[in-house]
Amino acid sequence: MTIITRKEQRKMTMIKRLYRTVLAAAMALCLALSAAAGVRAADYNFEGVSESGYYPSTDYEDVYDAQYNYGGMNTVDFMNAATSPYGCTDGTSIGAAERVTLPGTGFSAGSYGVLFNEEIQIAPVVYDAAVTPYVYQATAYTGIDGMVLPDGSIGTVEIPSLKITVKVWEGESTESMAKGLGHYSMSSCWDGNVCVCGHNRGAKCAIGPIKDLNIGDTITLTTVYGTRTYSVSYVGTISYTDWSHLQATSDNRITLTTCLANQPEYRVCVQAVEAR
């Protein structure tokens, strides 16, 4: 049996009292800090705080009617020309078409300007692998860099059967077509599908007679890269809202469009593929 002396008992009592005092002080300090934090939280005011650079999911869904995709592309990204992967603005008229080809893009009605803000219904393309196996072919494209000739043109189109020889100028504009053919700036300048347009009448270099071309007639294009000969494969009348013939291709071809006399809702379209 251990015997504790009075001196040791007094010492233990003092230690217990000191412990209780320290514990009580610590508890009081905690309560004081909690109360202060509560006051600060209650007094915090969100009014006047500037908008943040991100979208909380609930707000984003209300604004854009779409769930926010953290770490990936979102609806808002396609509405900003600086961040959009397609490089086009929302609801903006673009006089000269963008220099990128968007699959399934619909171009608006108008003369030769281009709009990207119309909703066009595109029928989905269905491939039956059992009938026609799908084989990917990259589209061809040649930019205008280095192609401008001393007179400012970028080439010459010749149609022997119609006795037409006309220069090509960059841009599908009135100024270009007053001098010759206007080159659709969204299309290729050499490899791939070279697209041009011109007046059908009332101009020095009108190309209205292209409606009389026959399948197999030849068209040549001469540029800084040389001369390429094409064979006419399509002559038709299309709607003035039909821009499908201007899509990029993997083969080399030339596409010509002009107005149809007294029928402003239609265009004459001629396509010719490279002769082999």
Annotation: CATH topology of 155-274? Sortase; Chain: A; (2.40.260)
The residues pairing with 165 across neighbouring beta strands, listed in sequence order, are: 158
What pLDDT does 215 receive? 97
| Strand segments (E) across the chain | 93-94, 114-115, 155-159, 164-170, 181-183, 193-198, 218-223, 226-239, 253-260, 263-274
Distances (CA, A) of 229 to 68, 193, 224, 248: 52, 13, 15, 19
Distances (CA, A) of 181 to 32, 99, 166, 249: 83, 18, 7, 21
Q: Tell me if 235 sits within 8 A of 208, measured CB to CB.
A: no
What pLDDT does 181 receive? 97
Neighbours of 117 (CB within 10 A): 13
Distance CA 257, CA 238 (A): 9
Q: Two tokens at 139?
A: 């589209």
Domains of the chain by residue range: 155-274
What pLDDT does 23 receive? 75
Distance CA 274, CA 122 (A): 28
Each residue's pLDDT expressed in tens, for the chain with a length of 276 residues: 556 666 676 777 777 777 777 777 777 777 766 665 554 544 545 455 444 444 444 455 555 555 656 655 555 454 443 433 433 333 322 233 333 333 333 333 333 333 333 333 334 445 566 666 656 678 999 999 999 999 999 999 999 999 999 999 999 999 999 999 999 999 999 999 999 999 998 888 899 999 999 999 999 999 999 999 999 999 999 999 999 999 999 999 999 999 988 898 999 999 999 998
What pLDDT does 87 receive? 34
